[in-house]
Amino acid sequence: MRNNRLALFALFGFLGGAAGSLLGELAINSRETSPLENIFGTAVWFALAAAPLSLALLLAIWFHNRRRELPWKSIGRAVLLGALSGAIAGAIAELVFQANPFPPVWREWFFKPLCWGLAGCLLGLALSWFIPNLGRLRGALAGALGGLVGGYGFVSVSQTLPDTLGRLAGLGVLGAALGLALVAVEMLFRQAALDVIWGPKERTTFSLGEQAITIGGGDDHIHVPGLPDHAGSVVFDQGRIEYRDRTTGQVTPLREGSRITIGRIELHVRASR
């Protein structure tokens, strides 16, 4: 499962969306309230639903990267950014629904998916901080695409199944779509990649770009116990791929098919040019 990023992100996205739905049930209020209270309540529901989804996708990144220790600092940031993204999208969604300029079918099948697209856009932007070389614009694009597609899935499923079960399954579908979109967009725009071979049938893939992929025993992208923090890095800049050894200062040019052995792991370079 760790080697298949599409399946991994889809699964974690579904579980995160379903968990968000269960948490969001705490904010559902069936009483008639004022417009302002409705805006606040919807914003809270979206925030509670989006925070676990953001956390789940961060854990998918952590699991794929084979990190042994949970990234506690990143977890707090992911939950906060996820909740904020959901709250903004939820408030806008409720404002649109209160304006009520179109028939209900338009609101359900046009504005609802658009609002989820907005939430996905903000979540994708937030998660781009944790995916090396995805980029803010591509992260936002992937999130918007996944949120929009997942939004239609959410509307379809939630209208087919009973209320709570419908929201749970619908948000699960939305989370899976968001996870798939993040991986698909990253792969689509990737110019070069670094495969980390941990052992037989154990592989992690990083997109290469201006942001260096660091290797070391600390808070590095590729964690190798026993090495100093940021002992080395691989960077792809202006068409050149290089391995930079921080301990010696040596810079080694790399190209398609280059291999580097560091401790028990092996790095393979894949480049489109």
pLDDT in tens, the chain (273 residues): 677 889 999 999 999 999 998 888 877 665 557 888 888 888 898 899 899 999 999 999 988 888 777 777 788 888 999 999 889 988 988 887 777 666 777 777 888 888 889 889 988 998 898 899 999 999 999 999 999 998 898 888 888 888 788 888 888 999 999 999 999 999 898 889 999 999 888 899 999 988 999 998 888 889 888 888 889 999 998 888 999 998 888 999 998 999 999 888 999 999 764
Residues 198 and 160 occupy one common structural domain = no
Q: Which of 139, 167, 188 is the last residue of a domain?
A: 188
Q: CA-to-CA distance for 61 and 183, rounded, in angstroms? A: 10
| Residue 102, pLDDT score | 67
Containing domain of residue 229, as a range? 192-271
pTM attached to this predicted model: 0.87
Helix count and strand count (H, E) for the chain = 7, 9
| Residue 18, pLDDT score | 93
Residues 178 and 220 occupy one common structural domain = no
Residues 62 and 181 occupy one common structural domain = yes
Identify the residue whose tokens are 């949120």: 147
Residues 80 and 144 occupy one common structural domain = yes
Residues 99 and 64 occupy one common structural domain = yes
The number of domains in the chain is: 2
Residues 32 and 111 occupy one common structural domain = yes
> Is the Cβ–Cβ distance between 182 and 131 less than 8 Å?
yes
Sign of torsion over alpha carbons 69, 172, 185, 115: negative
Residues 184 and 198 occupy one common structural domain = no
Residues 125 and 226 occupy one common structural domain = no
Give the DSSP H/E element, type plus range, for residue 50: helix 35-64
Q: CATH number, domain at 221? A: 2.60.200.20
Residues 209 and 121 occupy one common structural domain = no
Residues 129 and 230 occupy one common structural domain = no
Going by C-alpha positions, the residue among 214, 213, 242, 210 that lies closest to residue 228 is 214
Helices (H), 100-236: 104-106, 112-127, 136-160, 163-188
Q: Which of 159, 188, 217 is the last residue of a domain?
A: 188
| Residue 11, pLDDT score | 96
Residues 165 and 32 occupy one common structural domain = yes
Residues 123 and 151 occupy one common structural domain = yes
